[in-house]
């Protein structure tokens, strides 16, 4: 019975003049489905994501455009054909050659068929349907733009089971007998330039949402301000690792573990860092000397729109823990730059005829601790929508692995490059709401300034890890590692309706 039913349908489609009831009904169903398709993707319930350069980026909009256009033409032509046939059968005055030609050409498109249908003597409503059916071709202009390709960074997930891991120890002394210092210096010098290039954008705008996607860890927990980044080799700025899981429980995936803490934070436990042996003093100034260097740096500034209300981290000490060379201690004061006629709730130092330096009433030295170490874990996550879901499996924090220069550890070289006011750091002002580690204009809350400064340091150190990844990729250093799962985020093209 089913076979006979389909045979009859096919016979009707073939034998009856088109358009007929069956083909028009199919076209109506297809049109409804495609309109629903565009609506679903248009409101964001589902997304069509393709790699950059995929032929489907152009193919799908073209196919949807053609099918919708043909379906609309078929439906309207069918309605016009039926109505015209009906009027011809009941009204003798429509029984003429021109009317027969119009009925025979009911599927024709263009301005000439529209003109002919408007010219013949038929009811006005039927004329309107006929003209619209003839002009459906111009809908191509509007339907063609119904699916718009939009390039979005880190929107496409790529699955694999391998990635190129950081070798950690870079200088295997093949040609330099027992001394690898020249090799270390070669890497470090190239690294310093790359790190400055990555970190300078952070110092100008704060760190971007794209940079923060590259790390995981308990970012939102004040008690443990630690971030974790996969120790990988990667020179693609449009690609990050979202999830990597080892093939067994031996914790074989290397990660960079970075912590940034400043005293005064709620529930801050800095005991692990304040008693380290900071034997190397990279910067050591009295507060009076630091104040004098800052004043000298500010004397030439006259552009009020540039510095009005901005905050500076006035650095008095920069110390390096010299045993592991993984921890840095930064001692500083927060100072606000204000016009001479502005109110200051604290001590004031006049810099020039345009500005004064305002030290808040809570005038104390802040101490920030930074540590960058390497560990191995079972799995690591990044780019999480919820910070609490970004923990890495098997992280202990008890012991670190040995890794050689270049190290993304905050040091004198990167400090001198970024602290442009005689060794003092101008905290960036937010220009984009998605950026962090920067301050909104005219912020006067010292706690908020400190918290954003912590994030600024975090962004600077994370940019150092990115710089190391790119340097190793350029020098083709790395070890291919086979794991259970690798999910990499890269730039994709989203079709939106």
pLDDT tier for residue 314 given thresholds of 50, 70 and 90:
confident
Give tens-digit pLDDT for 345-356: 777 878 777 788
Q: Are residues 288 and 353 in the same domain?
A: yes
Residue 252: pLDDT over 50:
yes
Give tens-digit pLDDT for 395-440: 776 667 888 888 899 988 898 888 888 888 989 988 877 788 899 8
For residues 154 and 210, is the Cβ–Cβ distance under 8 A?
yes
Q: Which of residues 146, 167, 194 is at a domain's end?
A: 146
Domain extent for 80: 2-146
pTM exceeding the 0.75 threshold for the entire prediction:
no
Q: Are residues 341 and 486 in the same domain?
A: yes
Give tens-digit pLDDT for 13-69: 445 444 566 666 777 777 777 777 666 665 555 677 777 777 777 777 777 777 777
| Tokens found for residue 23 | 């083909």
| Tokens found for residue 31 | 């049109």
Q: Are residues 113 and 223 in the same domain?
A: no
pLDDT tier for residue 223 given thresholds of 50, 70 and 90:
very low
Q: Are residues 359 and 223 in the same domain?
A: yes
For the stretch 477-495, what's the b/e string if a residue is b when 16 or more beta carbons lie within 10 angstroms of its beta carbon? ebeebebeebbbbbbbbbb
Name which of 450, 461, 460 is nearest 222 in CA terms. 450
Q: Are residues 338 and 381 in the same domain?
A: yes
Predicted pLDDT at 267? 38
Q: Are residues 82 and 210 in the same domain?
A: no
Task: Report the percentage of the chain scoring pLDDT > 70.
Answer: 71
Residue 271: pLDDT over 50:
no
Q: Are residues 296 and 236 in the same domain?
A: yes
**CA 394/CA 377 separation, integer angstroms:** 5
Predicted pLDDT at 158? 86
Please tell me whether residue 355 adopts helix, strand or coil conformation: strand
**CA 333/CA 449 separation, integer angstroms:** 11
DSSP string, 43-85: TTSS-EEEETT-THHHHHHHHHHHHHHHHHHHHHHHHHHHHHH
Q: Are residues 118 and 180 in the same domain?
A: no
What's the number of domains the chain is made of?
A: 2
The residues, any chain, with a CB within 8 Å of residue 105's CB and separated by 6 or more, are 113
The residues, any chain, with a CB within 8 Å of residue 292's CB and separated by 6 or more, are none
Give the number of other CB atoms < 10 A from CB of residue 86. Answer: 12
The secondary structure of 112-131, three-state, reads HHHHHHHHCCCCHHHHHHHH
Q: Which of residues 146, 171, 201 is at a domain's end?
A: 146
Q: Are residues 138 and 274 in the same domain?
A: no
Q: Are residues 365 and 468 in the same domain?
A: yes
Q: Are residues 118 and 22 in the same domain?
A: yes
Residue 371: pLDDT over 60:
yes
Q: Are residues 95 and 163 in the same domain?
A: no
pLDDT tier for residue 143 given thresholds of 50, 70 and 90:
low
**CA 262/CA 267 separation, integer angstroms:** 11
Please tell me whether residue 376 adopts helix, strand or coil conformation: strand
Residue 73: pLDDT over 60:
yes
**CA 171/CA 183 separation, integer angstroms:** 6
Residue 456: pLDDT over 90:
yes
Name which of 168, 207, 17 is nearest 107 in CA terms. 17
Q: Which of residues 146, 176, 206 is at a domain's end?
A: 146
């Amino acid at each position: 019975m089913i076979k006979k039913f389909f045979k009859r349908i096919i016979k009707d489609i073939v034998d009856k003049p088109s358009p007929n009831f069956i083909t028009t009904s199919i076209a109506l169903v297809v049109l409804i489905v495609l309109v629903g398709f565009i609506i679903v993707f248009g409101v964001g319930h589902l997304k069509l994501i393709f790699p950059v350069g995929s032929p489907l980026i152009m193919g799908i909009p073209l196919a949807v455009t053609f099918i919708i256009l043909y379906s609309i033409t078929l439906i309207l032509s069918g309605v016009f054909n039926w109505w015209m046939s009906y009027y011809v059968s009941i009204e003798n005055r429509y029984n003429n050659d021109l009317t027969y030609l119009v009925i025979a050409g009911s599927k024709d498109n263009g301005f000439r068929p529209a003109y002919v249908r408007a010219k013949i003597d038929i009811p006005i409503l039927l004329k309107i349907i006929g003209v619209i059916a003839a002009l459906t071709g111009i809908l191509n202009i509007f339907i063609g733009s119904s699916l718009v390709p939009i390039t979005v960074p880190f929107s496409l997930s790529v699955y694999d089971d391998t990635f190129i891991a950081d070798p950690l120890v870079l200088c295997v002394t093949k040609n330099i007998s027992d001394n690898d210092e020249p090799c270390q210096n070669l890497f470090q010098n190239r690294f310093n330039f790359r790190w400055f290039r990555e970190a300078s954008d952070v110092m100008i705008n704060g760190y971007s949402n794209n940079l923060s996607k590259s790390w995981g860890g308990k970012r939102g927990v004040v008690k443990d301000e630690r971030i974790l980044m996969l120790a990988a080799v990667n020179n693609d700025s449009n690609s990050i690792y979202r999830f990597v899981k080892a093939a067994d429980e031996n914790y074989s995936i290397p990660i960079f573990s970075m912590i940034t803490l400043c005293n005064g934070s709620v529930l801050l436990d800095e005991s692990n860092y304040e008693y380290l042996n900071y034997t190397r003093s990279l910067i050591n100034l009295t507060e009076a000397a630091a104040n004098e260097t800052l004043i000298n740096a500010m004397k030439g500034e006259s552009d009020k729109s540039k510095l009005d209300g901005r905050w500076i981290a006035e650095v008095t000490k920069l110390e390096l823990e010299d045993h592991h060379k993984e921890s840095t201690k930064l001692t500083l004061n927060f100072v606000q730059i204000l016009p001479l006629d502005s109110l200051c709730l604290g001590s004031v130092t006049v810099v020039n005829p345009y500005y004064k330096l305002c030290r808040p009433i809570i005038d104390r030295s802040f101490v920030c601790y930074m540590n960058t170490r390497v560990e191995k874990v079972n799995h690591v996550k990044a780019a999480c929508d919820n910070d609490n879901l970004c923990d890495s499996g098997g992280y202990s924090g008890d012991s670190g692995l040995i890794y050689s220069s270049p190290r993304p550890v905050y040091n004198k070289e990167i400090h001198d490059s970024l602290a442009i006011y005689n060794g003092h750091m101008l905290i960036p002002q937010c220009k984009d709401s998605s950026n962090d580690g920067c301050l909104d204009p005219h912020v006067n809350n010292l706690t908020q300034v400190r918290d954003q400064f912590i994030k600024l340091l975090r962004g600077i150190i994370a940019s150092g890890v990115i710089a190391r990844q790119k340097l190793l990729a350029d020098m083709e250093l790395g070890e291919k590692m086979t794991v259970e799962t690798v999910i990499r985020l890269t730039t994709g093209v989203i079709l939106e309706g």
